[in-house]
Each structure stands twice: as structure tokens, then as C-alpha cells.
């Protein structure tokens, strides 16, 4: 049992409390999803539950937290480790040892377990997460997703009864995510673990959670079952939801457009429920699409003429050692006004490819040619930067004492006028909702806020080529929509954008084309509507639902795709709902 009474907390560096008067009870064995916008206090609440607040993070602490008759404030975190397991939002903050195997045994050794127990537990985690291929690798050479898996395995090896998970799947590819979550659900079902999870991508956990707690500005504004949550906030586009629930709501509105939508009608939460409820609706409208389902939507291929490129990669080979290549024979080109999404499983080389384009890794073979037309990307600057890269872990990019100084440092080489720099900084702070953090030390921001700052630092120089590594990880729905809007804006100005991502909704919404990496090479290359539904093993929840209804592969990837074809007269209303987010 977890009981939180009148809990308020304020960081020493913050002018206001991050959590205010939290009252909450969580029963043993419950699976709770903790939702809220970036900076709403979700991670702070988890830190308080496992004792990092106030033992590690200083601040003003009021109220009381009791976990199985113990107050975390009275016990150091190492004594709580066997009871409470905590997975950090950023795995780099959690991995301490040089090699993967050492990381797996580190916690168990510190808790004083015998060698036999350590061996049995570690073997089980190695098997569970298929860690044999990376067991002897150095943790700092792993991909972001691999680091996250190692962190999870090391915590589960200690067999805590309470798991606090801060976006544990944000850096995992769809297969690794499904595998991890299935193990988590099995643990919950068989061992009655108490699980409190923060997760922005909620479609994967929605069938398993018992309760949703939604925080806004440090206060609980909802505490109840998932069906009630999504029905209560169906019309609020700023509240996190799934693409399938958005589409279900739009279909119900469309069906009842001459009557008021009934809020007591629960929305379907998964593909099976959606298919069961709406099959008749879509099958009755089959005449609206071509019978053979070959690209019925009005898509256009972006220009990819290699004679008009900004980036031309030919026969590229990349390696961290002399004997083991990461990528081989990589060839593609990218034009201005184009968005290229790089996809593939964890460890396939997405980040490595971006680093090589940015000049941080030198190829062992092949060429990378960049052609920039200065006039095309003209601005008020004396010149514009060629390439900007936003890393998967944004905090490694910060080296100034305040948010303002970080942004100003990016502009200084290109703009001598302080008045002009301040104007651009204010615009970026306003767009990414960071004005209140102008004088804040960047590393004190939440991960979502750090991500927005890193994006602001990259975009403020109006680069000709923008490289983004998992840019939406840690972002709430509102900030994700604003990011997509900004990306589209700089694309129209002539920027070439390359994005390494597992975010299928992002890819489906904005990608000009996809590069899918597998077996050290580009296995598939093309527009999302051709590649995702028919070739790659990844697909969207919308696509799965429509495939189930029509019993064949379909090209529908997003809510917009379906509305455009089946409910074209509802399109304008839907677009207005999206704009309301902004």
C-alpha cells in the first residue's frame, strides 16, 4: 500500500512548488499509469516515492508518504532498493559500470546477495531480454534503446515489489517495446507487482492498466479508470490519448453529427474493440476507395533528384572498430524541402549514420557530399549554419549556465547584433514554451524541457540540414504537435531534415521518405504509405485496425488518412481540433 498525504515539494532551484497538496492511495498489485504534460511533476512524484527526494534532490518537502508502513524520508535509497525499483527517464543517468555484465550484477552485489543467487538472477535477465550479443560490450557504446534495456534488466534482477518506471520504452523500437512490456505484464499478473508508470505512448499499455492519474501544474485533476478518462477528455486535444481513440471519437461524432455525442458511450480502446464496433461503418463505404487498395490516397513523392541534392551519401561504410562495421554500402540522397526518417531496430546504426553526416564519425569507406545554396536559405544572419544535430540525450549538448545563454551561444557566431539575437531567442522561448525557464540552469529542466531547449538551440540558427535523433521522446502531445509545425515550417524554407526515430505517428505524418536499416544496410527506401504497410515490420495502430476491418493490407497510417477518404466532410472540423492544441 502506498499512501500520500498533503504532499508538496519545491526544488531549491525552482521559484514555485512542482507538486502541490497531493493526496493519493495506491493498492498493492495495482498497475497505475501516470500522465501529464512535460513539467507537470510526474518524475518528481516518482523520485519522492523511492527516496531520491529529498535524499538526493534538495528542496522543500511538506506532507507525508508511507509505503508499507515506512516513510522513504527515514530510509536512504539503498535500503529501499529491494522494495522499490526505479527506472530513470534517461538511462545514461542510471548506468554506472563500464560493461553490460558488470552493470547487471552491480546492484545485487551491493545488496549482499550470494554468488549463486546473483548468477541465477542475472542468467534469467540475460535470457529474458536476449542480452548475450551485447553482454561484453561497453555500456557507453550501446544505442539509447540498448542502454534502456540494460537498465531495466539490472533493476528487475533485484526483484523489487514496487516498480517505478519513468518512460521505460521511450527509446525502444516497436519489437523491443512489445517484448519488454509483455514481460512487465507477466510480472504484474503472476507476482502482483505494484507498478506506477509514466508513458507518453499509451496505446501499448492501455489494455493492462488499472488506473490513470493525470497531473496538471503539479495537481491531480483525474484519478480513475481508463474508460472514464478518455470519455471525459475526448474533446480536449491537449490531453494525451491514442490515435485509435482519436479516430473512434471522430467516427462517433460523424455518426451522430445530427445529434449530440453521448459521453456515456465508452470509446473503444484497442484494435479489436475498434474493429468490432466500426467494421460496418467502414465496410459500407468501400466504394470510397479503390478495390485493390493500391495507394488510394492522394500522396506525392518529394523530389529526390540526385543532381539537385543537399546531401549525397554513396557507398558509405561506418565502423567503431577496424574489424566490425556498423553500416555498409549506404547510398541515398536528400533534397531541400525534404524530411527523411531513418528507422530500424535498436542498434541498427541510425544514430551512427546521423553522427557521420554531422562529421562526428569519419567513414571507413564511401563519401558524404553536402551542397548548400546560400541564397535559398537566406535570412537576417550574416550567414546560416550548414548542419545542426540534436542528440538522443539532449543534456550532453548543454555547457552554459542558463537557457538564455545556451541559445545566445548558438547565435553569436552568426549574428553580432544583440538586439537581433534577443529577438530570435524570445521567439524560440515562446514557441517551445520555455520563457519561464529563461534563467534556469539547463540540466535542472525535465527531460521533455531539455529536449525542447536542444531543439531550440538547433533551430535558432536556421540550419540548411537538420539532424534529429529521437526528437519526440519525452515530449507531451502539445509539444509534439508544435514541433511538427516547426519542422514543416523550416522544410518549406528549404531545410533538409533527417530524423532517426521509432515514433511511427511522427513518420506517418511528416516523412517525405523512409530509410529502413537492417543487417547493416538500407533494406527498404520509399514513402511511408508504400514502405510501412507493405514492407517493414513496423506499423501504426490505425493501420492495424483498418487491416483487421478489411482483412487485407491497407495504406491507412494516420487519423487524417482515414478521415480524408471516409469522412471528407468532417476533415475541416478535425483540422480545427488539431489547431486547438496550439
What tens digit of pLDDT does each residue of 270-329 get? Answer: 999 999 999 999 998 877 665 444 443 443 444 444 445 689 999 999 987 767 889 999
Local structure of residue 486 (DSSP, 8 states) = H
pLDDT tens across 143-192, in order?
777 888 898 899 989 888 899 999 888 778 888 888 778 878 887 888 88
Residue 257 binned pLDDT confidence (cut-offs 50, 70, 90): low
Distance CA 264, CA 201 (A): 25
Write the DSSP string, 379-427: -SSSS--SEEEE-SSGGGG--SSSHHHHHHHHHTTT---HHHHHHHHHH
H helix or E strand, kind and range, residue 213: strand 211-216
Residue 258 binned pLDDT confidence (cut-offs 50, 70, 90): low
Distance CA 556, CA 539 (A): 10
pTM recorded for the entire structure: 0.80
Is residue 572 predicted with pLDDT exceeding 90? no
Report strand pairing: 513-518 vs 521-526: antiparallel
Tell me if 469 sits within 8 A of 410, measured CB to CB. no
Which range among 210-224, 378-392, 493-507 shows the weakest confidence by mean pLDDT?
A: 378-392
pLDDT tens across 232-252, in order?
887 777 788 888 999 999 898
- The confidence score (pLDDT) of residue 248 equals 92
- The confidence score (pLDDT) of residue 191 equals 81
Instruction: Pick the closest to residue 152 from 126, 174, 186 (CA basis).
Output: 126
Instruction: Pick the closest to residue 568 from 297, 354, 340 (CA basis).
Output: 297
Local structure of residue 261 (DSSP, 8 states) = -
Identify the residue whose cell numbers are 460523424: 254
- The confidence score (pLDDT) of residue 569 equals 64
pLDDT tens across 447-470, in order?
778 888 998 998 888 888 999 998
Distance CA 563, CA 249 (A): 12
Residue 104: CB partners within 8 Å, gap ≥ 6?
122, 125, 126, 131, 150, 153, 154, 157
Residue 90 binned pLDDT confidence (cut-offs 50, 70, 90): confident
Write the DSSP string, 42-104: HHHHHHHHTTHHHHTS-EEEEEEEEETTB-GGGS-HHHHTTTEEEE-SSGGGT--SSBHHHHH
Report strand pairing: 211-216 vs 513-518: unpaired
Tell me if 457 sits within 8 A of 410, measured CB to CB. yes
Task: Record the cell numbers describing residue 200, joined without a space.
Answer: 507518453
Residue 375 binned pLDDT confidence (cut-offs 50, 70, 90): very low
Measured CA to CA in angstroms, residue 467 lies from 79, 367, 497, 514, 518 at distances of 43, 18, 6, 14, 20
Highest mean pLDDT among 47-56, 376-385, 400-409, 437-446: 400-409
- The confidence score (pLDDT) of residue 259 equals 55
Is residue 219 predicted with pLDDT exceeding 70? yes
Residue 258: CB partners within 8 Å, gap ≥ 6?
none
Amino acid at each position: 500500500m502506498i499512501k500520500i498525504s498533503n504532499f508538496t515539494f519545491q526544488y531549491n532551484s525552482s521559484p514555485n512548488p512542482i507538486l502541490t497538496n497531493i493526496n493519493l492511495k495506491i493498492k498493492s498489485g495495482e498497475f497505475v499509469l501516470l500522465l501529464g504534460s512535460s513539467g507537470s511533476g510526474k518524475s518528481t512524484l516518482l523520485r519522492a516515492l523511492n527516496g531520491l527526494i529529498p535524499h538526493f534532490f534538495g528542496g522543500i518537502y511538506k506532507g507525508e508518504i508511507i509505503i508499507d508502513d515506512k516513510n522513504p524520508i527515514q530510509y536512504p535509497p539503498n535500503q529501499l532498493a529491494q522494495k522499490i525499483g526505479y527506472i530513470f527517464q534517461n538511462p545514461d543517468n542510471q548506468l554506472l559500470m563500464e560493461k553490460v555484465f558488470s552493470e547487471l550484477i552491480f546492484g545485487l552485489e551491493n545488496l549482499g546477495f550470494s554468488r549463486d543467487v546473483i548468477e541465477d538472477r542475472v542468467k534469467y535477465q540475460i535470457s529474458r531480454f536476449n542480452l548475450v550479443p551485447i553482454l561484453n560490450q561497453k555500456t557507453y557504446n550501446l544505442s539509447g534503446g540498448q542502454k534502456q534495456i540494460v537498465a531495466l534488466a539490472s533493476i528487475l534482477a533485484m526483484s523489487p515489489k514496487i516498480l517505478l518506471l519513468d518512460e521505460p520504452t521511450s527509446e525502444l523500437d516497436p519489437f523491443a517495446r512489445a517484448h519488454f512490456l509483455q514481460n512487465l505484464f507477466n510480472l504484474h499478473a503472476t507476482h502482483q507487482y505494484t507498478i506506477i508508470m509514466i508513458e507518453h505512448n499509451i496505446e501499448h499499455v492501455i489494455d493492462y492498466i488499472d488506473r490513470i492519474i493525470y497531473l496538471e501544474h503539479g495537481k491531480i485533476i483525474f484519478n480513475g479508470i481508463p474508460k472514464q478518462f478518455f470519455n471525459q477528455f475526448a474533446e480536449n486535444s491537449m490531453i494525451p490519448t491514442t490515435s485509435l481513440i482519436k479516430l473512434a471519437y471522430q467516427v462517433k461524432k460523424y455518426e451522430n453529427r445530427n445529434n449530440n455525442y453521448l459521453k456515456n458511450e465508452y470509446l473503444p480502446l484497442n484494435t479489436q474493440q475498434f474493429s468490432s464496433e466500426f467494421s460496418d461503418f467502414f465496410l459500407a463505404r468501400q466504394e470510397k476507395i479503390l478495390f485493390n487498395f493500391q495507394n488510394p490516397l492522394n500522396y506525392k513523392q518529394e523530389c529526390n533528384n540526385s543532381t539537385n541534392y543537399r546531401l549525397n551519401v554513396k557507398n558509405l561504410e561506418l565502423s567503431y572498430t577496424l574489424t566490425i562495421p556498423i553500416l555498409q554500402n549506404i547510398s541515398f540522397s536528400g533534397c531541400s524541402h525534404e524530411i527523411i526518417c531513418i528507422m530500424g531496430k535498436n542498434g541498427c546504426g541510425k544514430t551512427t549514420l546521423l553522427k557521420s553526416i554531422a562529421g562526428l564519425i569519419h567513414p571507413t569507406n564511401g563519401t558524404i557530399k553536402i551542397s548548400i545554396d546560400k541564397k535559398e536559405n537566406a535570412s537576417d544572419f550574416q550567414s546560416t549554419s550548414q548542419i545542426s544535430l540534436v542528440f538522443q540525450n539532449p543534456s550532453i549538448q548543454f555547457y552554459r549556465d542558463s537557457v538564455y545563454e545556451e541559445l545566445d551561444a548558438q547565435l553569436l557566431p552568426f549574428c553580432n547584433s544583440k538586439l537581433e539575437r534577443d529577438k530570435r531567442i524570445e521567439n524560440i522561448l515562446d514557441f517551445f514554451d520555455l520563457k519561464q525557464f529563461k534563467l534556469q540552469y539547463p540540466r535542472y529542466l525535465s527531460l521533455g524541457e531539455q529536449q525542447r531547449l536542444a531543439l531550440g538551440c538547433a533551430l535558432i540558427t536556421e540550419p540548411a540540414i537538420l539532424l534529429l535523433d529521437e526528437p519526440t521522446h519525452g515530449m507531451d502531445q502539445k509539444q509534439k504537435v508544435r514541433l511538427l509545425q516547426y519542422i514543416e515550417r523550416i522544410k518549406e524554407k528549404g531545410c533538409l531534415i533527417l530524423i532517426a526515430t521509432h515514433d511511427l505517428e511522427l513518420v506517418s505524418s511528416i516523412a517525405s521518405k523512409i530509410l529502413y536499416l537492417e543487417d547493416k544496410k538500407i533494406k527498404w527506401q520509399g514513402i511511408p504509405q508504400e514502405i510501412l504497410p507493405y514492407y517493414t515490420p513496423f506499423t501504426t495502430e490505425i493501420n492495424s485496425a483498418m487491416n483487421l476491418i478489411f482483412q487485407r493490407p491497407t495504406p491507412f497510417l494516420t487519423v487524417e488518412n482515414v478521415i480524408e477518404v471516409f469522412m471528407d466532410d468532417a476533415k475541416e472540423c478535425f483540422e480545427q481540433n488539431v489547431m486547438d492544441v496550439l
